[in-house]
Structure 1
Amino acid sequence: MEIPVVDLASIIKHSNEEDRKKAVNEFGKACLEFGFLRIINHGLPDELINRSRELAKQFFDRPNDEKLECKPVSTILPAGYGKMHGSFGCNEWLMVCEPILGFNVFPSSVPHVRETLEEIFVHLQKLGAMVENMVNEYLDLPSNFLSQFNDDRSKDVLMCWRYPPVAAEDANKIGREEHQDTNCFTFLLQDDADGLEYEKDGSWIPVLPMEGTLVVNVGSTIQALTNKKMIAARHRVRKPKGRNRHSFAFFYNIGGEKWIEPLPKFAEEIGEAPKYKGFFYKELLQARLKKERNPLTLREEVLDLDHFAIPVEDYND
């Protein structure tokens, strides 16, 4: 089942109210039914997208000693260059967060990396705010509720990934295990190598590359706030065949000290019991960071939203 495609031209261009409302409704409905969708006319310049892809390839092609020099001055996140060793192979990443200027070294052999990452980071932050406002409107929340609730942009993260190819005998090997993103929304820019899949009604469905689109998926924070009205779809990545796979993932995040629980509008006010107990966002994030820092972490040590779920028999009492 192919995920919906939503055209944001009317939002970007501030078109007439009817077209704008149509885009808001299509986006919100996709979040309700799939938790995954594509967007077109999203505002990211083609030139910036192409430049970002090329520089990412150049960066990952550099020798390890150069890449390992790419570390931030100070951050609690596993930012900078990293490589995932373990059952999923040697995936590589470059993680940047605010302030990007806190990074002390980018390889001089790959010029303009800093400027390009800063530029795409800013564009994606603006896109995140726009999507957040669309969801706020679709859910009929008080004006600017979500943007005021989620007002700390210092925790946003951009990750560049490279998945190395597998041998023919290892076809269909998993390159990234199934998971839900913990944040509010994720924006994914793929290259033309397939591999991304999302779960729908117990089946794994490929999200094939489509030029000119960004993939958007709902994070666990939105699923909890909406009492599971909007779904953070589980997704995974299969290893590419015969070539590297490059992607950019931008995580529109939330502050770790924020208390997350189902909003009354989606629970008590409509006669439904909360499906999740409250938690601090950092509780969910810390377990995920442990996995990023140590890919060999046991699965049961990595919390996801299900950890905070209230059993059905309890909320039906």
Structure 2
Amino acid sequence: MATPIVDLASLITRSGEEDTKKMVNDFGKACLEFGFLRIINHGLPDEVINDSWELTRQFFDRSTDEKLECKPVSTVLPAGYGKMHGSFGSNEWLMVCQPDLGFNIFPLSVPNIRETLEELFLHLQKLGAMVENMMNEYLGLPTNFLNQFNDDRSKDVLMCWRYPPVAADDTNMIGREEHQDTNCFTFLLQDDVGGLEYEKDGSWIPVPPVEGSLVVNVGSTIQALTNKKMVAARHRVGRPKGRSRQSFAFFYNIGGEKWIEPLPKFAEEIGEAPKYKGFYYKELLQARLKKERNPLTLREEVLDLEHFAISPVE
């Protein structure tokens, strides 16, 4: 089963109304049927992507003590360096938040890493707004509804991941456990190692690397707002053999104080009962972040969207 590919060229170049309309429909259909897709001609500069790969590779090759110096000055998000080896997976990461919040988390021994990752961050943030508008149009929502609803960009996050290869005596094959993202959309850049899979109809579908493409997946926030019309696909990462795996994940998030519940358009206006009770986004996010801060977190302490599901009336 092939993961859908959507060409954003008409959106980036504004080439024509009919082409754009087809692209929006292709995008929405892929989100509806798969929850996972690839996008090409997305507008991210090759130079920024290549520099980001090289500089983060240099960062992860530094000593543990130096990497641990990369920590936030002040934030509710666990920006900076982290490492996990346990039931949730085996990986290390560098989390980057909104550039203008003033985090001084980057090592001086890796010149230009801050400027390069901030540039990548801003390009992905711009792409997120475009994708959000495409979703808005596909769902038939009022003009700019999602953009105005999701108007807090301070919680967007760029994660730079590295997954170590499986050692001969290591039985932990999980790079990152199966999960749904909590946010609106996630954009993923992966190197040529592979390992990403998503679930569809009870089967795990591999998403092999394709040069020049970005992987996009729907998050739980969209699933809740659409009353499960759109579904956030569960996905996972297997640990590689023989070499490390590296990737970037950009989480196009939503403000923690935002109240999330099924929109009337997908519930009472069409005679359907809400499938989820309302919640503040931070309720869903905080338990997930606890896991990132503390790898010893128990599985039952990590909420997912089903925690807010309403059982159907018999």
TM superposition score category, shorter chain reference: over 0.9
1:20/1:172 Cα in 2 relative to 1: closer, same or farther (>3 Å)? farther
Tell me the alpha carbon deviations over residues 113-162 of structure 1, each in whole angstroms, 9 at most, x when there is no partner. Answer: 01001100000000000000000000010000000000000000000000
What's the TM-score once normalised by structure 1's chain length? 0.96
**2:181 matched residue in structure 1:** 181
- Deviation readout 1:199-241 (Å, 9 max, x if unpaired): 0011111111010000000000000000111110000000011
Task: Give matches, 1:62-211, under 5 Å.
Answer: 62-87=62-87, 90-99=90-99, 102-168=102-168, 173-211=173-211
| Contact 2:99–2:118 (Cα < 8 Å) also in 1 | no
- Provide closer, same or farther for how the CA distance between residues 204 and 89 of structure 1 changes in structure 2, counting only shifts above 3 A: closer
Q: Deviations over 1:88-130 (max 9, x none)?
A: 5641100010135622242222110010011000000000000
1:280 aligns with: 280
Query: CA-to-partner distance for each residue in 1:24-81, whole Å, 9 max, x for gaps?
Result: 0000001100000000000001111111111111100011121111112110111101
**Structure 2: which amino acid aligns with 1:73?**
V
Other-structure match for 1:27? 27
Distance 2:250 2:152 in 1: 15
Q: In the alignment, which residue of structure 2 is the partner of 1:296?
A: 296
| Helix, strand or coil at the partner of 1:31 | helix
Large movers: runs of 4+ above 6 Å: none
CA contact (8 A) 1:60 1:67 kept: yes
Pair 1:8 & 2:2 matched: no
C-alpha distance in structure 2 between counterparts of 1:144 and 1:305, whole Å? 25
> Is the 1:182–1:284 Cα contact (8 Å) retained in structure 2?
yes
What letter corresponds to residue 235 of structure 1 in structure 2?
H
Secondary structure of 1:240's aligned partner: coil
* 1:275-298 CA distance string (max 9 Å, x none): 111111111011101111112211
2:254 alignment partner AA: I
Aligned residues: 314
Q: For residue 162 of structure 1, give the secondary structure of its aligned residue in structure 2.
A: strand
Contact kept in structure 2, 1:168 and 1:241, CA below 8 Å: no
Partner SS for 2:237: strand
Distance 1:112 1:246 in 2: 19
Q: Counterparts of 1:220 and 1:302 in 2: how far apart (Å)?
A: 14
1:227·1:275 contact (CA, 8 Å) conserved in 2?
yes
C-alpha separation between the residues in 1 aligned to 2:89 and 2:309? 32
Q: Paired residue for 1:306?
A: 306
Corresponding residue for residue 218 of structure 1: 218
> Residues 173-211 of structure 1, C-alpha deviation per residue, up to 9 Å, x if partnerless?
111111000000000000001111100011111111010
List alignment gaps of at least 5 residues for structure 2. Answer: none
SS in structure 2 of the partner of residue 178 of structure 1: strand
Is the Cα–Cα contact under 8 Å of residues 39 and 213 in structure 1 kept in the other structure?
Answer: yes
Secondary structure of the 1:85 match is strand
Structure 1 unaligned residues grouped into runs of 5+: none
* Aligned counterparts of 1:276 and 1:105: Cα–Cα separation in 2: 38
Residue aligned with 1:243, SS: coil
Structure 2 Cα separation of the partners of residues 30 and 65 of structure 1: 43
Measured in 2, the distance between the counterparts of 1:137 and 1:89 equals 37
Question: Does 96-105 or 16-25 show the bigger shift?
Answer: 96-105
The 1-side partners of 2:279 and 2:109 are apart by 45
Report if aligned partners of 1:100, 1:114 keep a CA contact under 8 Å in 2. Answer: no
Q: Is the contact made by 2:89 and 2:172 (CA closer than 8 Å) also made in structure 1?
A: no
Aligned to 2:264: 264
Does the C-alpha gap of structure 1 residues 68 and 100 become closer, same or farther in structure 2, counting only changes over 3 Å? farther
User: Which AA in structure 2 matches 1:125?
Assistant: Q
- 1:171·1:241 contact (CA, 8 Å) conserved in 2? no
Q: TM-score, normalised by structure 2?
A: 0.97
- One-letter amino acid of the counterpart of residue 27, structure 2: F
**Alignment RMSD (CA, Å):** 1.4
Matches of 1:169 and 1:72 in 2, distance apart? 35
- In the other structure, the counterpart of 1:253 is 253
CA positional deviation for 1:87: 3.5
- Give the letter for the 2:48 counterpart: L
